[in-house]
């Protein structure tokens, strides 16, 4: 009998605000350690937190984007534990009543098609500081710049049944968050990190015991960690053992996970209501205003690209991965409106392909959408062929030269003048009387020979369609 995998995900996402959740300290990344701190985020006794309303608005916006319910009254609680990077001895979080509940995210995977994944809740909380051990000789340092930075924790229902579904959910959520602009969601900077809860069961049976892989910040590691954990749990059970509920840590160097702490030794956080913050109240009017300012979401943008520009679902998906990509594409279409599909093909295949080879992202593209449009114009008006177009693009990407300047300088202009083409054909026919006679005698294969000769004589610049057409007529005549 087979096993069914059950996955629920918790995502911690840094909300991009100028200042921290409960004080005025800067949230800028990469500053000297402990230069962005104050008595509040250092956990000095007697300091009072003041809630950052921008963080609240961005959490509400995220909640609305995933079709969640906004609780007009939510609460803050204290989660008590001791750790060197938490000087207060407690984290302010929303435990009993979160700001957002009951949302969902729609995913599509190859294995299970379209599926809706429930989002249990989104709550606000503050980040802890950072312990630093690396490169230090037997001592640890603490950087409290991150202490008090606002986070939203997005908790899913245990609705996913494979690592692929989990990754699809995460990518979808990541994309929505980036489109909303509520977080940089830069995974390398730890702005979007994931705890994966995994269990296995026989189909139809109740959920099995879960383990939790903590704090992963790459899609690849998350997939590896889930796959590893599924195999490990099945082995434990099939060997007659029991999975114990525990937190585990993924080691991306050894490609294995190890136990951090089991539930028995887990902290009892002794949650209680945060006495220094009143309940968080928002009005329906505020929620409606935030909703009115909702930007276009990825799925809406994809649908619009398909309808407005006639793109395939695949192309629309490629060109809407980021707002940056879709903006570039729309600028391109504005500059070359005659053929949005040509724009999509050339951008997706030729431009993005070259950028990838150059190891560059679109922000560092050597040419503008307008310059790219000029190249497309020259192919559309038959100045150059598609084949020459690719060479011109190579030069543009390398040196930033414009299409027109390069075509001019290298004399790449295609010969589309029928008089000039007829003259070339006549010269070839005069020079090849035997072939001409054989062709006219029925050896039609020789057509290719004449095409080749004319193209050669024109140094590849004769318009191939015209050469074909004129050859058919001139070879026929006697």
Q: Which stretches of the chain bind Mg ion, using CB under 5 A?
A: 10
For ligand ADP, give the closer residue by CB, 117 or 412.
Answer: 117
Q: Which of residues 137-166 bind ligand ADP (CB under 6 A)?
A: 155-158
For ligand ADP, give the closer residue by CB, 209 or 252.
Answer: 209
For ligand ADP, give the closer residue by CB, 4 or 286.
Answer: 4
Residue 41 interacts with, from Mg ion, ligand ADP, Zn ion, none (CB under 5-8 Å by kind): Zn ion
Place of tokens 């990190």: 193
38 contributes a contact to Zn ion by CB under 5 A: yes
Contacts of 296 (CB under 8 A, 6+ apart): 179, 304
Q: What is d(CA 384, CA 389) in angstroms, rounded to the nearest whole number?
A: 6
- To ligand ADP, the closest distance from the beta carbon of 206 in angstroms equals 9
- To Zn ion, the closest distance from the beta carbon of 33 in angstroms equals 14
Residue 365 interacts with, from Zn ion, ligand ADP, Mg ion, none (CB under 5-8 Å by kind): none
Residue 123, classed as helix, strand or coil, is: strand
Residue 47 has phi, psi (to 5 degrees) of -85, 145
41 contributes a contact to Zn ion by CB under 5 A: yes
For Mg ion, give the closer residue by CB, 10 or 274.
Answer: 10
Q: How far is CA 308 from CA 149, 269, 300, 404, in A?
A: 41, 53, 12, 29
- To ligand ADP, the closest distance from the beta carbon of 120 in angstroms equals 6
Q: What is d(CA 339, CA 309) in angstroms, rounded to the nearest whole number?
A: 9
Q: Which of residues 178-207 bind ligand ADP (CB under 6 A)?
A: 197-199, 207
50 contributes a contact to Zn ion by CB under 5 A: no
Closest residue to Mg ion in the complex (CB): 10
For ligand ADP, give the closer residue by CB, 196 or 446.
Answer: 196
Q: How far is CA 332 from CA 190, 364, 379, 383, 454, in A?
A: 34, 16, 15, 19, 35
For residues 15 to 34, the per-residue mask of contacts with Zn ion, x marking binding by CB under 5 A and - elsewhere, is --------x-x---------
For ligand ADP, give the closer residue by CB, 147 or 197.
Answer: 197
Closest residue to ligand ADP in the complex (CB): 8
For Zn ion, give the closer residue by CB, 35 or 469.
Answer: 35
For Mg ion, give the closer residue by CB, 196 or 352.
Answer: 196
How many C-beta atoms surround the C-beta of residue 108 within 10 A? 13
Separation of CA 476 from chain center: 57
- Helix, strand, coil: what percent of the chain each, to 5? 40, 20, 35
- To ligand ADP, the closest distance from the beta carbon of 160 in angstroms equals 9
For residues 342 to 381, the per-residue mask of contacts with ligand ADP, x marking binding by CB under 6 A and - elsewhere, is ----------------------------------------
Q: Which DSSP state fits 26? A: B
DSSP of 191-218, one letter per residue?
Answer: SEEEEEEEEEE-TTSPP---EEEEEE--
Question: In this structure, what token pair is assigned to residue 34?
Answer: 């402990």
- To Zn ion, the closest distance from the beta carbon of 26 in angstroms equals 9
Q: What is d(CA 23, CA 417) in angstroms, rounded to the nearest whole number?
A: 73
Q: What is d(CA 208, CA 242) in angstroms, rounded to the nearest whole number?
A: 10
Residue 25 interacts with, from Zn ion, Mg ion, ligand ADP, none (CB under 5-8 Å by kind): Zn ion
Q: What residues line the site for ligand ADP (CB under 6 A)?
A: 6-10, 155-158, 197-199, 207, 210, 212
């Amino acid at each position: 009998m087979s096993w069914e995998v059950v996955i629920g995900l918790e995502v911690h996402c840094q909300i991009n605000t100028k200042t921290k959740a409960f004080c005025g300290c800067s949230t800028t990344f990469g500053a000297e350690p402990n230069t962005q701190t104050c008595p509040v985020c250092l956990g000095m006794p007697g300091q009072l937190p003041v809630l950052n309303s921008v963080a609240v608005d961005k959490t509400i916006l995220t909640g609305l984007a995933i079709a969640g319910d906004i609780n007009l009254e939510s609460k803050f609680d204290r989660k008590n534990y001791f750790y060197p990077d938490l000087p207060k001895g407690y984290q302010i979080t929303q435990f009993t009543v979160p700001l957002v509940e009951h949302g969902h995210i729609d995913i599509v995977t190859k294995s299970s098609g379209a599926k809706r994944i429930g989002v249990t809740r989104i709550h606000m909380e503050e980040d802890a500081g950072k312990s630093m051990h690396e490169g230090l000789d037997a001592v640890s340092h603490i950087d409290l710049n991150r202490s008090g930075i606002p986070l939203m924790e997005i908790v899913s229902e245990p609705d996913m049944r494979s690592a692929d579904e989990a990754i699809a959910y995460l990518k979808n959520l990541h994309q929505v968050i980036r489109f909303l602009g509520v977080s940089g969601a830069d995974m390398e900077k730890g702005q979007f990190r994931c705890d994966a809860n995994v269990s296995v069961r026989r189909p139809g049976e109740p959920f099995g015991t879960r383990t939790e892989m903590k704090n992963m910040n790459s899609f690849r590691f998350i997939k590896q960690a889930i796959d590893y954990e599924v195999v490990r749990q099945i082995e434990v059970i099939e060997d007659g053992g029991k999975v114990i509920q525990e937190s585990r840590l993924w080691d991306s160097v050894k490609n294995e996970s190890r136990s951090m702490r089991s539930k028995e030794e887990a902290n009892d956080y002794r949650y209680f209501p945060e006495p220094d913050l009143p309940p968080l109240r928002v009005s329906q009017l505020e929620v409606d205003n935030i909703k009115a300012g909702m930007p276009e979401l990825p799925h809406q943008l994809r649908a619009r690209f398909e309808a407005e520009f006639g793109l395939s679902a695949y192309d629309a998906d490629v060109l809407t991965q980021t707002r940056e990509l879709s903006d570039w594409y729309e600028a391109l279409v504005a500059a070359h409106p005659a053929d949005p599909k040509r724009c999509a093909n050339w951008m997706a295949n030729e431009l993005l392909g070259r950028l990838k080879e150059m190891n560059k992202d679109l922000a560092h593209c050597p040419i503008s959408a307008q310059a790219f449009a000029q190249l497309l114009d020259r192919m559309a008006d038959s100045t150059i062929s598609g084949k020459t177009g690719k060479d011109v693009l190579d030069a543009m990407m390398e040196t930033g030269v414009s299409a027109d300047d390069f075509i001019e300088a290298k004399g790449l202009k295609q010969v589309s003048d029928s008089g000039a083409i007829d003259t070339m054909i006549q010269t070839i026919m005069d020079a090849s009387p035997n072939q001409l006679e054989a062709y006219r005698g029925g050896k039609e294969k020789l057509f290719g020979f004449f095409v080749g000769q004319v193209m050669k004589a024109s140094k590849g610049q004769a318009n191939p369609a015209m050469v074909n057409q004129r050859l058919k007529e001139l070879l026929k005549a006697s």
